Amino acid sequence: MTEKRKSPRAPVDSEAIIKHSSIGEQGVIVRDASDGGLYIVTHNDELPPVGSIVTVMVQGQAEEEVSTCNMQVVRMDERGIGLVPC
């Protein structure tokens, strides 16, 4: 299979929170990241639909360091969702 990604992805194991009006706040795991986006794993069946804009909060290395950004849901599978920056 030919790789279609524009940016190489790196494995990540970081906790994050996504927020959307359809699900409220939900804890997730960032599985991999690239310049082009994130793939997050969730164990909740309630997920915002493809095309939705979500707020993502990722804990940094220091406890007080939190990155927040808006991202769009671009794909969904049985394990989680793919997000790209808005």
In the chain (86 residues long), the average pLDDT of successive 10-residue segments reads 69 91 94 93 87 91 80 94 95
At 48 the pLDDT is: 92
Q: In degrees, to the nearest 5, what angle opens at C-alpha 2 toward C-alphas 79 and 73?
A: 35
Query: What pLDDT does 67 receive?
Result: 87
| The predicted structure's pLDDT at residue 10 | 86
Closest alpha carbon to 20 in 40, 59, 48, 46? 48
| Backbone dihedral region for residue 67 (phi beyond 0: left; psi -120 to 50: alpha; all else: beta) | beta
Q: Where do the structural domains in the chain lie, given as residue ranges?
A: 1-6+25-81
Distances (CA, A) of 79 to 22, 31, 44, 86: 19, 10, 9, 22
pTM for this model (two decimals) = 0.84
